[in-house]
Amino acid sequence: MSTSYLDIDPWKIIENTFDKNKIMSSESIFSIGNGYMGQRANFEEDYSGETFQGSYIGGIYYPDKTKVGWWKNGYPEYFAKVLNAPNWIGIHIQIDGEILDLNRGKVKRFQRELNMKNGIYTRKFQITLNNGIEISAEIIRFISLKENSLGAIQYKITALNRDCEILFEPYIDAGIVNQDSNWDDAFWKNKSLKNIDSFAAIISKTNKTKFEVCTYMSSKLIFQNNIINSPLSKNKFKNKLSQIFKINIHKGKTVKLIKLGGYINGKRNYKKNLFIEAEKLIEKFKHIDFNELLKVQTESWKRIWEMSDIKIKGDLKSQQAIRFNIFHLNQTYSGKDPELNIGPKGFTGEKYGGSTYWDTEAYCLPFYMFTKDQSIPKNLLKYRFLQLDKAIENAEKLGFGKGAALYPMVTMNGEECHNEWEITFEEIHRNGAIAYAIYNYERFTKDFTYVKEMGIEVLIAISRFWSQRFTFSNDKKKYVILGVTGPNEYENNVNNNWYTNYIARWCLVYTKNQIKKLEKLYPIDFLKISKKINWNKVELNLWEDIIQKTYLPYDDDKKIFLQQDGFLDKELIPAKRLDKSVRPINQNWSWDRILRSVYIKQADVLQGFYFFSDDFTLEELEKHYKYYEPFTVHESSLSPSVHSVLACRIGLIDDAYKFYLQTSRLDLDDYNLEVEEGLHITSMAGSWMSIVEGFGGMQIVNDKLSFENKLPIEWTSLSFKINFEGSILEVNVGKNKTNFIWKGKSKINIISNGKKISLP
Amino acid sequence: MSTSYLDIDPWKIIENTFDKNKIMSSESIFSIGNGYMGQRANFEEDYSGETFQGSYIGGIYYPDKTKVGWWKNGYPEYFAKVLNAPNWIGIHIQIDGEILDLNRGKVKRFQRELNMKNGIYTRKFQITLNNGIEISAEIIRFISLKENSLGAIQYKITALNRDCEILFEPYIDAGIVNQDSNWDDAFWKNKSLKNIDSFAAIISKTNKTKFEVCTYMSSKLIFQNNIINSPLSKNKFKNKLSQIFKINIHKGKTVKLIKLGGYINGKRNYKKNLFIEAEKLIEKFKHIDFNELLKVQTESWKRIWEMSDIKIKGDLKSQQAIRFNIFHLNQTYSGKDPELNIGPKGFTGEKYGGSTYWDTEAYCLPFYMFTKDQSIPKNLLKYRFLQLDKAIENAEKLGFGKGAALYPMVTMNGEECHNEWEITFEEIHRNGAIAYAIYNYERFTKDFTYVKEMGIEVLIAISRFWSQRFTFSNDKKKYVILGVTGPNEYENNVNNNWYTNYIARWCLVYTKNQIKKLEKLYPIDFLKISKKINWNKVELNLWEDIIQKTYLPYDDDKKIFLQQDGFLDKELIPAKRLDKSVRPINQNWSWDRILRSVYIKQADVLQGFYFFSDDFTLEELEKHYKYYEPFTVHESSLSPSVHSVLACRIGLIDDAYKFYLQTSRLDLDDYNLEVEEGLHITSMAGSWMSIVEGFGGMQIVNDKLSFENKLPIEWTSLSFKINFEGSILEVNVGKNKTNFIWKGKSKINIISNGKKISLP
């Protein structure tokens, strides 16, 4: 674990020193966004040092031609890349002709601060330029939560030691390339540029996908009480427009430039003139005082926090961490557009390309379910319904038919993007997580409309896939699933991964029951859907047979479910006995050694115990946790959170707390020394889970499941206290109005400092 | 199967029509080479139609940076590409200013002929050019078997309908790029060019590997009895040199240009001035009459055929095919240089890059063992000894140590080049084939010098690898091998592939015995080697334990060895029940479907029965053949030959003959519609095997193994007759002097036209 260079604060992320080696890390950590667009915390002014410039727009992607060593039938044609979008924040600044660049002058003070309470990012510094002029600056920036397409910057400069001429040249730059690109294709083409009065805009179009985006800006200079709305002059470059403001100020005086900017996204402004839309937006906001804009932003975030804050007393690091996670989850996904989803890096980087993984259903849904109006988690489910046709096509490419659907491992528009056969073709348990999310949503909200209107089609298509994917083994007289990769990606192409077999069978049962329910409650709707998807009751016969005869690998001696066939042939040496020099094994061992080893990347059998806790006793959970966790190396950012939840359920609070810290401060403490590439957005939802579903679960009320039928809007709080390492953790989730209670099948023990504490 | 457009002839390959769609196929089929260099049958004159220009030099490669979608630890940095070398055959020709180009004029007659008896390639055509001039041409070309660096062309033109001016502009062109390249790197850099009098040469250097090659040429024009040695003028382009000869001839007259050319390979002319070496060569040969050169070439090939011809009476297609295979094997590998090996495409294409696969030991060695002086197969074994250090490094990269060696899947200089984890890291049975080749060589030649001088180190290093690669399963109380790919590449990452486990154990046994033998016969040598490789007898304890407790998957009911754990869970439907539309499955099914299916790409369990025939009864062989062959789709060019051999051993002559034709005419009949990419050189050795080890084995003499201790130079013949489909197949191998006899453990039945024929 790297010691964080950031201050600990309950509401803020604060950096107090100027360290050129941390620029890219901070660019990730201080990222801002509003679910529609987002950006890394790049400097507005020029910076000649090492930096990773990144701005991103939700849903705007490029189908980058697949790169593989050896092509295999069924591979997708492309990998959808989140596109690095034109830069709207840039302001070129010269002081008496000297370029303002923190890499070149002498930086005296430097501070940046991301206020998570109101989503406002502030940076202050004092610098002596190479021409001897000393200035201080304060920059405030935000991306509006209320107005999807709007961002704003206030750039203040104070002359400290001399009178000087200050030149601001705000610009928009559409000559952008991706860091992550397979073949160095040009991703964008610029269609037209407009630079009139105080308004400048560029319409760019993505190659192949033909998405249109208008990047715009409008600036004004404010000095004392004068507002200069029009630039002195304008520049037009090939892919870039700029406007020049110049002013002479006396020593001690302050000038500020206000810049509004952002994107009009053609996808959401279909057939509209994007220039006009941008101009309208500017007209609406350009006369509003910047402080007014800040107030609106603060107000918007206030409403978010009312719904989703978690208070932790007695542990500031934990408090800061959980808010950091909640904050970024809200910046990444607002839930208003069912065509958007939650990318693994959100708007903070490019790694992993496409936007949607099974992370959404398995890890993120609960957060949005608990903290948002139900329309929002419903939109996450609707996303998959909208892509059902593509999932059916995807299954067809692999040889399935009759309406069977295989949802993609990675996708942007429903088409599969991933291209490792062992994942693309074999990590099919993702299909199960999508069905599980439907169940989870219905269980929590008691809202049956999704199933009725959309979900039943998704469920049937998924179950059709499973029924075709099972093979009847004459040898075992059971249905088996051959050649899969489970959630533990350190095993590939195994037979009978217990988790996959289990969730596949569960899908068949759940779908069967939902069909019955729908048929009974809404016979006419069901009839219509039946016709549409060519449903025939006869299909249930095979499903039933599979349900009765699903093979689930089990060891009679050890009384545990086996991760897959042959698991016990491995060398069963606990991970803690590995030499530190080989950890993480994915950086130190060859792939084949990892595959042959017993070590588990992330919860696999235990993922099943997490999802299907009703099906097992706590004793069974404890047995499996204690068997599998010692082999688990937690080399996926998704691993610690599930283990934290399970550890809570069996009272291993030391484990639970360790895992919680690991997941919640993953980026702040940069555990994997890679935060500069972007944040781990989807695993942030896991931190939330480990508080609410883990620690929260320790507030046993009685031995019953009690996800009650409360809409998230009604549901409001969770609070509990835990004695831990001498300090009291007092956790409060939500608005402190009603109770949140976690199911428990039997008594839970909390162990603190090695001592068992019985809870009621 | 595509019907061949080529004539059937016992000694020649003949094409009689000019079909632009077949140009690239013929370029492959009519390829010529001498083991040191080779080339596709490209036209000397310009050709503006579709063509695949290819010239190659043994051992000259480029380490092309690896291309993968997702990097895995242990992957090699590069893939060694056989380099497309500078062109020395080119002759730009103009008739009265009109470029001679078969794609533009009107071709009247066209014929090409590859005479396999003497390695001479002839092309004749008659064409009316667009300027109305009609000419005929006859071109003879060969690459000298005697003189490694020499090639020669005689280009004759006859003016048919008019007097005309004929311009010959022979050139060498070093501005060559590979068809197969990962990143479009420049592979060659040209160092210096020389163009004096009748001699022109370019020294090129490969990037990264720094191999130097001098491409040279020298031409003369002969008209009636005049020889014009010096060109009229010379041209120098950036990467190309040419010389111009011009002559006016009367209607009906013939002029010919003789061009000598080729490469001086810097690897074999270390520290020499390559220009001077080329000039010396030209001096030596330029005054020799072209017909004299042809005689020498004919003489060289005569000696090859004396050693290796197989005569088949009664079946011209088979006769042509087996000679085609023998011819190309000789063109690809001469065996004089232990740093060279047998590339899967020889000098006929670029696909599969690197030169050496396990094909060499498993499929090619017997051919060279039977038909060459033993120094030649010994050089094949020496190649691996020379690369032992790299094989040890390769194993170290994967986490093995203490002198364990894993030979690469694909290599040029001993480093691994392949980059699919399921092959690179897991298709480790290749290590076994290398040990088996040592055994096979010693068994056949009774020459122990290889083992004594080199082989024992190879064997111990391989056995060390196996001893580390086995895992002791506490569950099974046996040693298992997890995570491998067997010869059947349609299964990946399986546990306990029977063939791999079997050959691994066999390696341990064989190495142990060879150590004992060496220790006894040459104790001083052994002591020296022991020190060198840090050998400790104690290692044998683990080996012995593994030998005693090797797990070999077996089904008690069916009494068959199982291809791998879990094989019987598959859907066991014979391949013949697959719809034709899905064959070959590797072109029609997704990879995951192939993996899950029972279908076998090439002999796997049966490869073990082929190698270790002594260990099994014919009844066992028959049982396993009849169990596994029906699931085999033979989608590797290496598959039919082994099955042909095994079918012979159990008397299934219909099968054997079908497989023989499939393997021997694979390229001539272009079964897979890909001959234009190059020939399947290594599988050609399989055709030879199927005759000698398969059909040859039917001459049972008694029930004993009888590979006698005869050096190949002494061993000379094999002859047998088979009644087949009404005609008599009379097969003669070698010089008809002594007997070749195949072992047989019990009576063999030959079935002809469904009737069983008992042989003595």
Q: Are the C-beta atoms of residues A405 and A387 closer than 8 Å to each other?
A: no
pLDDT recorded at residue A484: 98
Distance CA A722, CA A728 (A): 6
- Would you call B420 and A589 a contact, using CB atoms and an 8 Å cutoff? no
Residues of B in contact with A476 (CB under 8 A): 569
Distance CA B508, CA B527 (A): 20
Q: Are the C-beta atoms of residues A32 and A119 closer than 8 Å to each other?
A: yes
Residues of B in contact with A475 (CB under 8 A): 568-569
Residues of A in contact with B482 (CB under 8 A): 566, 569-570, 596
Percentage of residues of chain B with pLDDT beyond 70: 91
| pLDDT at position B690 over 90 | no
pLDDT recorded at residue B80: 84
| pLDDT at position A705 over 70 | no
Residues of A in contact with B472 (CB under 8 A): 571
* B569 closest CB neighbour out of A66, A397, A495: A495
Active site includes A457? no
What confidence tier does A659 reach under pLDDT thresholds 50, 70, 90? very high
- Chain-centroid distance of CA A584 in Å reads 23
What confidence tier does A214 reach under pLDDT thresholds 50, 70, 90? very high
pLDDT digits (tens, 9 = 90+) for B345-355: 999 998 877 68
Closest chain A residue to B568, measured at CA: A475
Give the least confident one: A107-121, A723-737, B13-27, B489-503: A723-737
| Residue of A418, A465, A493, A579 to mutate, testing the B interface (most B Cβ within 10 Å of its Cβ) | A493
Residues of A in contact with B594 (CB under 8 A): 73
- Would you call A480 and B426 a contact, using CB atoms and an 8 Å cutoff? no
What confidence tier does A729 reach under pLDDT thresholds 50, 70, 90? low
Alpha-carbon distance B489 to nearest alpha carbon in chain A (angstroms): 13
Give the residue from B270, B419, B426, B422 showing the smallest Cα distance to B354.
B419
* A592 closest CB neighbour out of B74, B475, B588: B74
What confidence tier does B339 reach under pLDDT thresholds 50, 70, 90? very high
Give the residue from B238, B206, B213 showing the smallest Cα distance to B36.
B213
Backbone angles phi, psi at B594, to 5 degrees: -60, -45
pLDDT recorded at residue A721: 53
Q: Are the C-beta atoms of residues A664 and A317 closer than 8 Å to each other?
A: no
- Would you call A69 and B492 a contact, using CB atoms and an 8 Å cutoff? no
Q: What is the DSSP letter of A484?
A: B
Alpha-carbon distance A54 to nearest alpha carbon in chain B (angstroms): 23
| pLDDT at position B716 over 50 | no
What confidence tier does B700 reach under pLDDT thresholds 50, 70, 90? very low
Distance CA B665, CA B320 (A): 9
Taking residues A241-265, report their average pLDDT.
Answer: 97
Token pair 């609707």 is at which residue? A382
Residue-wise DSSP of B611-657: HTGGGS-HHHHHHHHHHHGGGB---STTHHHHHHHHHHHTT-HHHHH
pLDDT digits (tens, 9 = 90+) for B507-565: 999 999 999 999 999 999 999 999 999 999 999 999 999 999 999 999 999 999 999 99
| pLDDT at position B419 over 70 | yes
Give the least confident one: A402-406, A693-697, A708-712: A708-712
pLDDT recorded at residue A732: 53
pLDDT recorded at residue A402: 97
Residues facing residue A101 across a β-bridge = none
pLDDT recorded at residue B453: 96
| pLDDT at position A752 over 60 | no
pLDDT digits (tens, 9 = 90+) for B49-68: 999 999 999 999 988 888 87
Q: What is the DSSP letter of A27?
A: H
- Would you call A591 and B73 a contact, using CB atoms and an 8 Å cutoff? yes
pLDDT recorded at residue A328: 98
pLDDT recorded at residue A713: 29
pLDDT digits (tens, 9 = 90+) for B655-676: 888 898 899 999 999 988 899 9
Helix (H, G, I), strand (E, B) or coil at B530: helix
What confidence tier does B703 reach under pLDDT thresholds 50, 70, 90? very low
pLDDT recorded at residue B712: 30
Alpha-carbon radius of gyration of chain A: 27
Give the residue from A646, A572, A569 showing the smallest Cα distance to A606.
A646
pLDDT recorded at residue B3: 53
Residues of A in contact with B75 (CB under 8 A): 591
Closest chain A residue to B565, measured at CA: A566
Task: Return the number of other C-beta atoms located less than 10 Å from residue B333's C-beta.
Answer: 30
- Chain-centroid distance of CA A166 in Å reads 40
pLDDT digits (tens, 9 = 90+) for A641-655: 999 999 888 878 778
Distance CA B535, CA B542 (A): 14
Residues of B in contact with A593 (CB under 8 A): 74, 398-399
Distance CA A383, CA A342 (A): 11
Alpha-carbon distance B609 to nearest alpha carbon in chain A (angstroms): 25
| Residue of B596, B597, B599, B601 to mutate, testing the A interface (most A Cβ within 10 Å of its Cβ) | B596
| pLDDT at position A755 over 60 | no
Q: What are the CA-CA distances from residue A11 to residues A113, A515, B249 (Å)?
A: 10, 47, 96
Instruction: Report the 3 state secondary structure along A392-450.
Output: HHHHHHCCCCCCCCCCCCCECCCCCCCCCHHHHCCCCHHHHHHHHHHHHHHHHHCCCHH
- Would you call B495 and A566 a contact, using CB atoms and an 8 Å cutoff? yes
Give the residue from B507, B512, B523 showing the smallest Cα distance to B470.
B507
* A476 closest CB neighbour out of B75, B420, B569: B569
| pLDDT at position A754 over 50 | no
Taking residues A733-747, report their average pLDDT.
Answer: 31
* B493 closest CB neighbour out of A570, A586, A595: A595
| pLDDT at position A751 over 60 | no
Distance CA A296, CA A691 (A): 30
- Would you call A592 and B495 a contact, using CB atoms and an 8 Å cutoff? no
What confidence tier does B142 reach under pLDDT thresholds 50, 70, 90? very high
Q: What are the CA-CA distances from residue B341 to residues A80, A127, B264 (Å)?
A: 42, 66, 19
Give the least confident one: A393-402, A656-665, B291-300: A656-665
- Would you call B568 and A474 a contact, using CB atoms and an 8 Å cutoff? yes
- Would you call B568 and A70 a contact, using CB atoms and an 8 Å cutoff? no
Q: A665-669, long-range: CB within 8 Å, 24+ apart, which pairs?
A: A665/A4, A665/A317, A665/A321, A666/A637, A667/A28, A667/A29, A667/A324, A668/A4, A668/A6, A668/A13, A668/A29, A668/A320, A668/A321, A668/A324, A669/A1, A669/A2, A669/A3, A669/A4
pLDDT recorded at residue A757: 38
Closest chain B residue to A417, measured at CA: B69
Backbone angles phi, psi at B678, to 5 degrees: 130, 170
From edge to edge, which strands make up the β-sheet containing B55-65?
A: B32-33, B37-39, B55-65, B78-84
Share in percent of chain A as helix, strand, coil (round to 5): 35, 25, 40
Helix (H, G, I), strand (E, B) or coil at B289: coil
pLDDT digits (tens, 9 = 90+) for A406-440: 999 999 999 999 889 999 999 999 999 999 999 99
Residues of B in contact with A73 (CB under 8 A): 586-591, 594
- Would you call B569 and A482 a contact, using CB atoms and an 8 Å cutoff? yes
Alpha-carbon distance B200 to nearest alpha carbon in chain A (angstroms): 40
Backbone angles phi, psi at B286, to 5 degrees: -70, -20
pLDDT recorded at residue A513: 98
| pLDDT at position A726 over 50 | no
| pLDDT at position A629 over 70 | yes
pLDDT digits (tens, 9 = 90+) for B591-635: 999 999 999 999 999 999 999 988 998 889 999 999 999 999 999
- What integer best gives the mean pLDDT of chain A? 89
| pLDDT at position A211 over 60 | yes
Distance CA A612, CA A433 (A): 12
Distance CA B285, CA A220 (A): 85
Tokens for B144?
């000298």
Q: What are the CA-CA distances from residue B565 to residues A753, B546, B553 (Å)?
A: 46, 19, 6
Taking residues A192-206, report their average pLDDT.
Answer: 92
pLDDT recorded at residue B239: 92
Distance CA A426, CA A75 (A): 12
HSE toward the beta carbon, residue A630, CA cutoff 13 A: 10
pLDDT recorded at residue B67: 80
For the whole model, what pTM was predicted?
Answer: 0.90
Alpha-carbon distance B591 to nearest alpha carbon in chain A (angstroms): 6
Q: Are the C-beta atoms of residues B457 and B526 closer than 8 Å to each other?
A: no
Task: Return the number of other C-beta atoms located less than 10 Å from residue B383's C-beta.
Answer: 22
Q: Are the C-beta atoms of residues A89 and A151 closer than 8 Å to each other?
A: yes
Say if the ipTM goes beyond 0.85. Answer: yes
Alpha-carbon distance A597 to nearest alpha carbon in chain B (angstroms): 9
Taking residues A316-327, report their average pLDDT.
Answer: 92
Catalytically annotated residue among B212, B277, B415, B489: B489
Give the residue from A148, A168, A147 showing the smallest Cα distance to A292.
A147
- Would you call A398 and B592 a contact, using CB atoms and an 8 Å cutoff? yes
Q: Amino acid identity, residue A252?
A: G
* A590 closest CB neighbour out of B398, B495, B593: B398
| pLDDT at position B460 over 90 | yes
Tokens for A85?
């979008």
Give the residue from A292, A219, A222, A290 showing the smallest Cα distance to A254.
A222
Taking residues B708-725, report their average pLDDT.
Answer: 39
* A398 closest CB neighbour out of B419, B426, B593: B593
| pLDDT at position B357 over 80 | yes
Instruction: Report the 3 state secondary structure along B407-447.
Output: CCCCECCCCCCCCCHHHHCCCCCHHHHHHHHHHHHHHHHCC
pLDDT recorded at residue B720: 52
| pLDDT at position A724 over 70 | no
* B589 closest CB neighbour out of A73, A480, A586: A73
pLDDT recorded at residue B317: 86
Alpha-carbon distance A491 to nearest alpha carbon in chain B (angstroms): 9
- Would you call A67 and B67 a contact, using CB atoms and an 8 Å cutoff? yes
Residues of B in contact with A565 (CB under 8 A): 565-566
Interhelix angle B316-332/B653-664, rounded to 10 degrees, is: 50
Taking residues A224-238, report their average pLDDT.
Answer: 93
Catalytically annotated residue among A134, A147, A212, A489: A489
What confidence tier does B730 reach under pLDDT thresholds 50, 70, 90? low
| Element at A755 (helix H, strand E) | strand A755-758
Distance CA A424, CA B591 (A): 10
| pLDDT at position A146 over 80 | yes
| pLDDT at position A527 over 70 | yes
Residues of A in contact with B480 (CB under 8 A): 569
Q: Are strands A78-84 and A55-65 parallel, antiparallel or unpaired?
A: antiparallel
Give the residue from A426, A553, A210 showing the smallest Cα distance to B590.
A426
Give the least confident one: A236-250, A321-335, B4-18, B694-708: B694-708
Helix (H, G, I), strand (E, B) or coil at B678: coil
Give the least confident one: A644-653, A709-718, B364-373: A709-718
Alpha-carbon distance B475 to nearest alpha carbon in chain A (angstroms): 6
pLDDT recorded at residue B672: 82
* B399 closest CB neighbour out of A68, A69, A590: A590
